[in-house]
Amino acid sequence: MTGPPVSRTFRSQRLDLHYVDWGGAHLPPLILLHGGNDHCRSWDPLARALSDRFRVIAPDLRGHGDSGWSSDSHYSITAHVFDLLALYEALGLESAPIVAHSFGGFVALRFAGLYPAAVTRLVLLDSASRFDGEAERLAVPVEQRIVTFFEKIRRAGRASPRPYASIGEAAARMQVTNPSLSDDLARHLAEHGSRLGEDGMRRWKFDPSARVRTPVDISPEERRRLRWQVAARVLILDGAQSCGAPGRQPLDFPDASRIVVADAGHWVQHDQPAAVLAAVRDFLAAD
């Protein structure tokens, strides 16, 4: 598919959620899940390249892109998993491979553990790590974590998103976060990741509340149990410059292979698109 994808919507928990469809209804499906503060059009270069073999479906997670914002600031991994299940149901899918980046990988991994038959292959882009800080976070009393969560949600609700005078200015801000972004890609990400307000200024589309970490989730041991229930083969693609983060260790999987991509950071698919595309193509084509 050489043109732009088709925008569509589906319903989940009273939210209208957006996804783009790279056509090819006669082709097998492939799901792409973006990370936090991102959007579905971030996948465009990879999606376009894979649309010759797959019907590529890339949703905007709730609170991101052109999807609705949760009225109760409910952005737990479980909520996103429910949304992914609703997407499968809306599309009539029984199973599909999933490629996911960062937070999207947490969602995909949880989904694959709960519904093993629904995921045929799983590619995790800089997403399959645990951090030593987890134990320290869980050592904080639960009541303190919940109260702190309430305070952060209140602040997020009162916050005024930073305005940008142009797409170029927003793109430049993205390049501060990831200096390896080309001018064209940064502009593309900024164009689809921001919207124009009535005052003529652009602001990011994501809900600030989506950045607040949920205070209560399943335990690390329960996450490991679900991880080991994943039936799909797993490919882990980590950026070499991201692997050295203090306290970071790869997760254990029953059937996984791992590639450390040279000269790539957290945004491994943007930093080394050719290497990621080649690895994903080979992995999805393998018996």
Give pLDDT tens digits for 185-211: 999 999 999 999 999 999 999 999 999
Provide mean pLDDT across the span 222-232: 94
- Read off the pLDDT band of 95 (50, 70, 90): very high
Three-state SS at 33:
strand
pLDDT of 135 reads 74
CA distances from 198 to 126, 161, 202, 203 (A): 37, 14, 9, 11
Give a yes or no: residue 125 inside a domain: yes
E strands along the chain, which residues? 6-12, 15-21, 29-33, 55-59, 96-101, 119-125, 129-131, 194-196, 202-204, 233-239, 248-250, 256-261
Sign of CA dihedral 41, 45, 47, 51: positive
Query: Is 30 in contact with 99 (CB distance < 8 Å)?
Result: yes
pLDDT of 210 reads 95
54 Cβ contact list (under 8 Å, min separation 6): 22, 24, 27, 28, 29, 30, 284
Residue 226: pLDDT above 90?
A: yes
Provide mean pLDDT across the span 6-29: 95
What is the Cα–Cα distance from 73 to 223, expressed in whole angstroms?
A: 23
E strands along 84-184, which residues? 96-101, 119-125, 129-131
Give a yes or no: residue 57 inside a domain: yes
Give a yes or no: residue 199 inside a domain: no
Give a yes or no: residue 110 inside a domain: yes
Give a yes or no: residue 278 inside a domain: yes
What pairing do the DSSP bridges indicate for beta strands 233-239 and 119-125? parallel
CATH number at residue 50: 3.40.50.1820
Residue 212: pLDDT above 60?
A: yes
Phi, psi at 206, each rounded to 5°: -70, 150
Q: What angle do CA 56, 53, 191 make, to 5 degrees?
A: 40
Domain that holds residue 226: 6-144+219-285
Residue 134: pLDDT above 90?
A: no
Give a yes or no: residue 52 inside a domain: yes
Q: Check residue 247 and give left, alpha or beta (phi > 0: left; psi -120 to 50: alpha).
A: left
pLDDT of 1 reads 60
What is the Cα–Cα distance from 283 to 64, expressed in whole angstroms?
A: 28
- Read off the pLDDT band of 238 (50, 70, 90): very high
Nearest to 243 by CA among 270, 218, 266, 220: 266
The pLDDT tens digits of the residues spanning 135-161 come to 778 788 999 999 999 999 999 988 888
Query: Is 126 in contact with 99 (CB distance < 8 Å)?
Result: no
Mean pLDDT, rounded, of the chain: 93
- Read off the pLDDT band of 270 (50, 70, 90): very high
pLDDT of 205 reads 96
% of the chain surpassing 70 pLDDT: 95
Residue 243: pLDDT above 80?
A: no
* Least reliable range by pLDDT among 93-97, 105-109, 156-160: 156-160
Give a yes or no: residue 190 inside a domain: no
Give a yes or no: residue 163 inside a domain: no
**Structurally, how many domains does the chain consist of?**
1
